[in-house]
């Protein structure tokens, strides 16, 4: 301690008073001051003070007190000016204390302390140890001072506060208001305590009562418009109640709590009432809930919330070393409404019954869950009732889910996956980024897929699967098997249903190896095997081999057919290549339909006179799958298996065709069909076809060239008609032998 100044003692006598006046003036510096013994505070920090003290004090008659304190020995003025100083890590830039002592009462005429970007103003009176009456105002733009003072933090944001402390010095009444902006506190048991936005808090304490009111702030991203809290202590017992309005009064939380002995080693709090409600739903406490807080743990007994026939229950313990033993119960919970009440709508709806237990570390507990969901719907898709059993014991998560359909059948999906689940940090990760798991399914009804694919008109069947997952998160590996039994499938635009599909396959990382598959299309049978890639995988390679037996093909350009075929699908999923050999078992070429694919003019030429018939052009054949398809099919047409059919003509055909296609182009048909036999009707007379060809020239839509010669015999005269030209511009010529001029 360094000090300089003077101390002046003089005798003063007047008619009304006599005594000794002591004048004191000191300039001083105090470095590394240890106040721990004086304040009886072990952790009080090292102190460095630099101040100027000026005092003008009169001594008082204090003979009644043996060793009176300083403030009872003198009356007068005291002015302290603080220069740059420090208390531990807290630095004070400047300060001023203007005090007046009178009859043991300290009057704070002005107190102002400036530290970094914050200041404190105060005034009032203190009668030690009896009464206090002080008004104060603070403006703190840097809250690091508070962080250092209470050794918690960091604390960020800004605070303005004003109020009054009065009454008994040991238990004063305190009325005040606190304005906070973007307040953030760290290290209070939670990961982060955050009050965002501009908020105002008003409070009142006294006679063991605390009232707290606040408006307009956000806590952990939850918008709070109003909050109020009232607490009253009576000897050892405590009563508290309050409410919080979330989201502009749409959600309200109300709480009423009592504690019979707040000074007990294990404090028991009886929750008399608890409500969580919005404008449509209200959850209320059933009976009374009990929460016990001890030195080592927190216990929850009989805490049940109910809304109509819905119920949530919670019981168990949480130890302060983050070890838990908790049990949750859910009964008839409306998932959609409950999600809205929490402010986070669930992507599903339905009614859940469930029991969940958590044991062990609160961050990574052992979890057991079981229950069911009725009327389950995900993103507006109606699903079947679901039962589930789930178990998590780090790092293995296992599940067993069963779906029920209207026929009473059960489909199960079960398996396991290695995960690190941290409830405290709200994180789910793969251990060391390694993927390890199993997914199994038994008797899965495929009708559920119809809800997800709008172009799927019909689907049924049973799927079994056994899939193993391994590898890294960004490079997973897949292995396993799958089988499909008695499936039926029909897509939009299909004239028939693909029936009785039975399939067995092996699953690999790059795709699916179909080892055996068969299906029925109408009266025909299809068998196939080979390799197809996953829609989402890196591999694109296609390699399928199919055999068609008496299969009816879709009607293309008026050609109706049933075929036997050996087909190959190669290339990749973006550029497929379709090749093979096709043998016609039965085909009918509808000439009238083929003609309407072109605006056809048929000219009848007889003795120089012409007559024309016109037809309209329909929409051509298009399909998205064909856009990038390459096709090369060889078609064999044997005698007795194909017919040409029209309004005037019927003929049996034979020959060879090639159906081909290039990416981004239309399907084309090339080749020649010859007439084997047939007839042509001209004005009621039946002409016999003696020879004819249909030449497909590769145009799209097809516009083949015809050359058909027909004969009609009347006595010794042979009358001939010849159809020739393209379908779009066909000519019919009449002739005779001998010529009509000679007859």
The answer to whether position 15 is within a domain reads no
| 47 touches 37 (CB < 8 A) | no
Identify which of 333-337, 624-628, 652-656 has the greatest average pLDDT.
652-656
The 3 state secondary structure assigned to 352-395 is EEEEEEEEEECCCCEEEEEEEEEEEEECCEECCCEEEEEEEECC
| 215 touches 228 (CB < 8 A) | no
Q: Provide the domain limits for residue 532.
A: 404-541
| 229 touches 244 (CB < 8 A) | no
The pair phi, psi for residue 453, each rounded to 5°, is -125, 105
C-alpha torsion sign, points 265, 266, 272, 276 = positive
β-pairing, 630-645 with 576-590?
A: parallel
**Predicted local confidence at residue 503, as pLDDT:** 95
Pick the range with the lowest mean pLDDT from 26-40, 160-174, 682-696.
Answer: 26-40
Beta bridge partners of 274: 255
| 670 touches 525 (CB < 8 A) | no
- Mean pLDDT across the chain, nearest whole number? 81
Q: Tell me how far apart the alpha carbons of residues 688 and 115 are, in angstroms, rounded to a whole number.
A: 118
**Predicted local confidence at residue 553, as pLDDT:** 84
Residues 521, 558: one domain? no
**Predicted local confidence at residue 205, as pLDDT:** 79
Residues 368, 258: one domain? yes
pLDDT band at 301 (very low <50, low <70, confident <90, very high): confident
For residue 660, what is the enclosing H or E element? Answer: strand 649-661
**Predicted local confidence at residue 37, as pLDDT:** 63
Q: Tell me how far apart the alpha carbons of residues 82 and 90 are, in angstroms, rounded to a whole number.
A: 14
Identify which of 244-248, 371-375, 576-580 has the greatest average pLDDT.
576-580
Residues 347, 422: one domain? no
Of all residues in the chain, the percent with pLDDT exceeding 90 is: 25
Pick the range with the lowest mean pLDDT from 202-216, 469-483, 506-520, 728-742.
Answer: 202-216
Identify which of 51-55, 259-263, 410-414, 737-741 has the greatest average pLDDT.
259-263
Domain boundary among 489, 522, 541: 541
Residues 502, 589: one domain? no
Q: How far is CA 7 from the centre of its chain?
A: 77
Q: Tell me how far apart the alpha carbons of residues 122 and 135 are, in angstroms, rounded to a whole number.
A: 6
The answer to whether position 68 is within a domain reads no
For residue 196, what is the enclosing H or E element? Answer: strand 193-206
Domain boundary among 352, 383, 414: 383
More reliable by pLDDT, 493 or 663: 663
Identify which of 91-105, 398-412, 530-544, 640-654 has the greatest average pLDDT.
640-654
Residues 536, 553: one domain? no
The residue-averaged pLDDT of 678-694 equals 92
More reliable by pLDDT, 410 or 260: 260
pTM exceeds 0.75, yes or no: no
**Predicted local confidence at residue 502, as pLDDT:** 96
Q: What is the DSSP letter of 450?
A: G
The pair phi, psi for residue 727, each rounded to 5°, is -60, -40
Closest to 512 in 3D by CA, of 574, 459, 465, 471? 465
**Predicted local confidence at residue 563, as pLDDT:** 93
**Predicted local confidence at residue 119, as pLDDT:** 79
pLDDT band at 78 (very low <50, low <70, confident <90, very high): confident
Residues 576, 525: one domain? no
Q: Give the helix, strand, coil percentages of the chain, each rounded to 5.
A: 5, 70, 25
**Predicted local confidence at residue 560, as pLDDT:** 85
The residue-averaged pLDDT of 592-600 equals 61
Burial of 667 (0-12, 13-18, 19+ CB in 10 A): buried
Q: Tell me how far apart the alpha carbons of residues 660 and 702 are, in angstroms, rounded to a whole number.
A: 12
The pair phi, psi for residue 337, each rounded to 5°, is -70, -35
The answer to whether position 680 is within a domain reads yes
153: pLDDT strictly greater than 70:
no
The residue-averaged pLDDT of 374-402 equals 83
Domain boundary among 351, 383, 415: 383
**Predicted local confidence at residue 617, as pLDDT:** 41
pLDDT band at 62 (very low <50, low <70, confident <90, very high): low
- Residue in this structure with the two tokens 């009266």, named with its chain if needed: 523
Burial of 189 (0-12, 13-18, 19+ CB in 10 A): exposed
The answer to whether position 426 is within a domain reads yes
The answer to whether position 74 is within a domain reads no
More reliable by pLDDT, 154 or 455: 455
Q: Tell me how far apart the alpha carbons of residues 456 and 107 are, in angstroms, rounded to a whole number.
A: 87
pLDDT band at 616 (very low <50, low <70, confident <90, very high): very low
Q: Tell me how far apart the alpha carbons of residues 84 and 95 are, in angstroms, rounded to a whole number.
A: 9
Burial of 725 (0-12, 13-18, 19+ CB in 10 A): middle
Closest to 578 in 3D by CA, of 626, 512, 636, 527? 626
Residues 616, 683: one domain? yes
More reliable by pLDDT, 159 or 558: 159
Burial of 612 (0-12, 13-18, 19+ CB in 10 A): exposed
pLDDT band at 583 (very low <50, low <70, confident <90, very high): very high
9: pLDDT strictly greater than 70:
no
Residues 628, 550: one domain? yes
C-alpha torsion sign, points 352, 355, 358, 364 = negative
Residues whose CB is less than 8 angstroms from the CB of residue 683 and which lie 6 or more positions away in sequence, other chains included: none
**Predicted local confidence at residue 25, as pLDDT:** 65
| 159 touches 180 (CB < 8 A) | yes
**Distances in Å between the alpha carbon of 727 and those of 599, 614, 696, 706, 743?**
9, 11, 10, 7, 33
Q: Tell me how far apart the alpha carbons of residues 430 and 396 are, in angstroms, rounded to a whole number.
A: 10
The answer to whether position 205 is within a domain reads no
Q: Tell me how far apart the alpha carbons of residues 254 and 305 are, in angstroms, rounded to a whole number.
A: 13
pLDDT band at 566 (very low <50, low <70, confident <90, very high): very high
* Exposure of 176 in the CB half-sphere (CA atoms within 13 A): 21
Pick the range with the lowest mean pLDDT from 25-34, 393-402, 461-470, 636-645.
Answer: 25-34
Residues whose CB is less than 8 angstroms from the CB of residue 207 and which lie 6 or more positions away in sequence, other chains included: 171, 173
The residue-averaged pLDDT of 196-214 equals 75
End-to-end CA distance of the chain: 154
Closest to 569 in 3D by CA, of 535, 537, 517, 530? 530
Task: Write out the two tokens for 331.
Answer: 């009964």
More reliable by pLDDT, 595 or 390: 390
**Predicted local confidence at residue 612, as pLDDT:** 46
691: pLDDT strictly greater than 90:
yes
Q: Tell me how far apart the alpha carbons of residues 43 and 29 are, in angstroms, rounded to a whole number.
A: 23
Task: Write out the two tokens for 104.
Answer: 């043991």
Task: Write out the two tokens for 435.
Answer: 């993927």
The answer to whether position 600 is within a domain reads yes
Residues 482, 569: one domain? no
189: pLDDT strictly greater than 50:
no
Total of domains in the chain:
3
The answer to whether position 537 is within a domain reads yes
More reliable by pLDDT, 660 or 119: 660
Residues 585, 729: one domain? yes
Residues 425, 535: one domain? yes
The pair phi, psi for residue 104, each rounded to 5°, is 85, 0
**Predicted local confidence at residue 362, as pLDDT:** 81
Task: Write out the two tokens for 680.
Answer: 């042509």
Residues 326, 410: one domain? no
| 243 touches 228 (CB < 8 A) | yes
């Amino acid at each position: 301690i360094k000090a300089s100044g003077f101390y002046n003692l003089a005798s003063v006598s007047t008619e009304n008073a006599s005594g000794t006046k002591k004048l004191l003036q000191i300039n001083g510096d105090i470095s590394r001051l240890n106040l721990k013994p004086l304040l009886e505070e072990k952790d009080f920090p090292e102190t460095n003070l630099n101040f100027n003290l000026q005092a003008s004090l009169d001594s008082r008659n204090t003979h009644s007190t043996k060793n009176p304190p300083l403030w009872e020995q003198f009356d007068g003025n005291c002015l302290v000016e603080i220069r740059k100083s420090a208390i531990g890590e807290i630095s004070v830039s400047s300060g001023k204390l203007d005090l007046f002592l009178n009859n043991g009462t300290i009057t704070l005429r002005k107190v102002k302390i400036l530290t970094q970007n914050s200041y404190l103003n105060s005034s009032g009176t203190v009668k030690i140890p009896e009464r206090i009456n002080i008004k104060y105002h603070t403006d703190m733009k840097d809250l690091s001072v508070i962080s250092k003072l209470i050794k918690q933090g960091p604390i960020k944001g800004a605070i303005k506060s004003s109020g009054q402390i009065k009454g008994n010095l040991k238990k004063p009444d305190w009325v005040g208001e606190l304005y906070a902006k973007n307040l953030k506190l760290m290290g209070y048991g939670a990961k982060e305590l955050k009050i965002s936005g501009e908020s105002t808090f008003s409070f009142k304490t006294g006679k063991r009562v605390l009232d707290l009111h606040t408006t307009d702030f956000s806590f952990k991203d939850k918008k709070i418009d109003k909050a109020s809290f009232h607490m009253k202590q009576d000897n050892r017992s405590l009563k508290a109640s309050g409410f919080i309005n979330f989201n502009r009064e749409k959600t309200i939380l109300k709480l009423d709590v009592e504690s019979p002995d707040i000074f007990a080693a294990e404090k028991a709090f009886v929750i008399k009432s608890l409500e969580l409600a919005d404008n449509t739903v209200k959850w209320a406490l059933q009976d009374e809930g009990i929460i016990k807080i001890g030195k080592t743990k927190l216990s929850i007994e009989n805490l049940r919330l109910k809304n109509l026939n819905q119920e949530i229950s919670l019981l168990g313990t949480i130890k302060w070393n983050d070890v838990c033993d908790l049990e949750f119960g859910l009964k008839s919970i409306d998932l959609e409404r409950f999600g809205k009440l929490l402010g986070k709508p669930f992507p599903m709806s339905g009614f859940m019954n469930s029991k969940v237990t958590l044991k062990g570390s609160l961050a990574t507990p052992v979890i057991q869950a079981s229950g069911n969901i009725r009327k389950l719907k995900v993103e507006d898709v109606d699903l079947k009732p679901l039962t589930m059993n789930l178990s998590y014991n780090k790092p293995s998560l296992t599940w067993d889910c069963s779906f029920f359909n209207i026929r009473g059948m059960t489909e199960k999906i079960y398996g396991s996956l290695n995960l690190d689940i941290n409830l405290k940090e709200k994180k789910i990760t793969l251990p060391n980024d390694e993927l390890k798991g199993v997914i199994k399914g038994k008797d899965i009804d495929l009708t559920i897929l119809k809800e997800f694919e709008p172009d799927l008109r019909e689907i049924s069947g049973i799927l079994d699967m056994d899939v193993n997952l391994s590898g890294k998160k960004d490079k997973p590996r897949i292995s396993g098997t799958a089988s499909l039994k008695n499936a039926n499938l029909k897509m939009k635009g299909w004239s028939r249903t693909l029936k009785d599909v039975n399939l067995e396959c092996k699953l690999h990382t790059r795709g699916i190896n179909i080892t055996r598959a068969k299906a029925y299309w109408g009266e025909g049978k299809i068998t196939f095997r080979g390799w197809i890639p996953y829609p989402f995988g890196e591999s694109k390679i296609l390699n399928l081999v199919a055999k068609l037996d008496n299969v009816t093909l879709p009607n293309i350009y008026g050609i109706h057919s049933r075929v036997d075929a050996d087909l190959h699908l190669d290339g990749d999923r973006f550029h497929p290549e379709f090749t093979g050999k096709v043998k016609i078992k039965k085909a009918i070429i509808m000439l009238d339909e083929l003609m309407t694919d072109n605006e056809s003019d048929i000219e009848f030429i007889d003795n120089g006179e012409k007559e024309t018939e016109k037809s309209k052009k329909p929409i051509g054949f298009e399909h998205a799958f064909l856009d990038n398809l390459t096709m090369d099919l060889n078609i064999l047409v044997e005698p007795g298996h194909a017919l040409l059919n029209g309004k005037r003509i019927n003929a049996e055909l034979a020959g060879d065709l090639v159906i081909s296609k290039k990416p981004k182009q239309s399907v084309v048909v090339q080749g020649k069909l010859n007439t084997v036999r047939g007839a042509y009707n001209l004005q009621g007379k039946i002409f016999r076809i003696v020879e004819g060809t249909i030449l497909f020239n590769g145009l799209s839509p097809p516009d083949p060239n015809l050359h058909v010669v027909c004969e009609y015999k009347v006595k010794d005269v042979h009358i001939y008609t010849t159809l020739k030209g393209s379908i779009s511009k066909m000519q019919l010529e009449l002739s005779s032998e001998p010529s009509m001029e000679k007859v």
